[in-house]
């Protein structure tokens, strides 16, 4: 397969950098899938495995960096606003609609971790989304971080947020917090898993050199306000795949399974990657391939052929 094309589009006035993987073996306009990453991710991390597989299966794949991250424009750098990120997805969909080689009636979205939550919201609110694949999604930021940090750690995190909010008001300057810490018991970070720090150090070295182990503290404050729950029952007729990792105590697989039960559409599937955990889907090639295959099969089943739905009548 040839290398993807490096392209740009605009999102709320900002320049967005993306990889475009053309659909293989397709004559005429082809369906397309939009992909973006999780907390602090740049587009080179893990996601190209999925995008390349989708292209080989006959789908265009558009994989982008959110504004303020990676190769995209925007300030302040490393500021992760979930509302902006969802808008970046929506503008990616608009970009695809503008292309003659894309079938705008067959657009799907894919997300992992933080963006796994984003695509559940997109499937609920954007009628252009005809199919969703959500990988180890963040369901409820407050519940997730409260459990991850524990009582004493969560107190420290909330104090860090209060101090940063005061500083932002007084100086107009953002404070920053690490994505992960080498010793999360002594250094406050957003995701307090010792393995998180080493994993992303390895991913930075091997895949995504533009990854930065930090975000604005305001990003974490918004994560605590983040929940997909109100949107799950709006997924009425959008085929929705959720891939969870067995034993995932990072984004909490029990929260994910409970969220899956609340999705209304009968066109849904829960795929559990066995003997895994959250980080396995970034490091273990065999388990990554299982998730890639599940997503590819899902899009082939629900996006490859046009379907007449109640929404279209």
Domain residue extents for the chain:
5-140+227-312
C-alpha Rg value of the chain to the nearest Å: 19
Averaged over 50-67, what is the pLDDT?
Answer: 98
Cα–Cα distance for residue pair 180/157, rounded to 1 Å: 13
Per the CATH hierarchy, to which homologous superfamily does domain 5-140+227-312 belong? Alpha/Beta hydrolase fold, catalytic domain (3.40.50.1820)
pLDDT at position 305, please?
76
Residue 311 predicted with pLDDT over 70: no
- Residue-averaged pLDDT of the chain: 96
Q: What number of helices (H) and strands (E) belong to the chain?
A: 10, 10
Only one residue has tokens 């947020």, namely 161
pLDDT in tens, 204-252: 999 999 999 999 999 999 999 999 999 999 999 999 999 999 999 999 9
pLDDT at position 309, please?
44
Cα–Cα distance for residue pair 41/169, rounded to 1 Å: 28
Averaged over 49-78, what is the pLDDT?
Answer: 98
Rounded alpha-carbon distances, angstroms, from residue 97 to 100, 165, 227? 8, 39, 28
Give the SS3 label for residue 85.
Answer: helix
The pTM score is 0.96
pLDDT in tens, 122-152: 999 999 999 999 999 999 999 999 999 999 9
Give the SS3 label for residue 274.
Answer: coil
pLDDT at position 313, please?
37
Residue 171 predicted with pLDDT over 90: yes
Give the SS3 label for residue 136.
Answer: coil
């Amino acid at each position: 397969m040839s290398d993807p094309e490096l392209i740009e589009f605009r999102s709320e006035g900002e320049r967005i950098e993306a990889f475009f993987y053309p659909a293989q073996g397709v004559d005429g306009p082809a369906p397309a899938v939009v992909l973006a990453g999780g907390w602090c991710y740049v587009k080179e991390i893990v996601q190209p495995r999925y995008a390349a597989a989708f292209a080989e299966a006959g789908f265009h794949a558009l994989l982008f960096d959110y504004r303020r991250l990676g190769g995209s424009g925007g300030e302040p750098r490393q500021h992760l606003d979930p509302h902006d990120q969802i808008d970046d997805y929506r503008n990616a969909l608009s970009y695809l609609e503008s292309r003659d080689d894309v079938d705008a009636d067959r657009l799907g979205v894919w997300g992992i971790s933080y963006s796994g939550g984003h695509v559940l919201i997109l499937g609920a609110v954007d009628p252009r989304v005809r199919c969703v694949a959500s990988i180890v999604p963040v369901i409820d930021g407050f519940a997730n971080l409260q459990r991850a940090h524990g009582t004493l750690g969560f107190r420290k995190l909330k104090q860090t947020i209060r101090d940063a909010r005061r500083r932002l008001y007084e100086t107009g300057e953002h404070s920053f917090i690490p994505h992960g810490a080498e010793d999360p018991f002594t250094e406050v970070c957003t995701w307090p898993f010792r393995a998180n720090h080493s994993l992303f150090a390895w991913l930075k070295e091997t895949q995504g050199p533009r990854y930065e182990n930090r975000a604005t503290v305001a990003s974490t404050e918004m994560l605590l306000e983040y929940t997909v729950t109100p949107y799950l029952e709006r997924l009425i007729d959008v085929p929705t795949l959720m891939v969870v990792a067995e034993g995932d105590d990072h984004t909490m697989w029990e929260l994910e399974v409970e969220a899956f039960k609340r999705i209304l559409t009968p066109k849904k599937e829960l795929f559990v990657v066995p003997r895994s955990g959250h980080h396995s889907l970034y490091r273990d090639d065999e388990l990554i391939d299982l998730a890639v295959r599940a997503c590819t099969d899902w899009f082939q089943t629900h996006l490859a052929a046009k379907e007449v739905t109640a929404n279209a009548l």
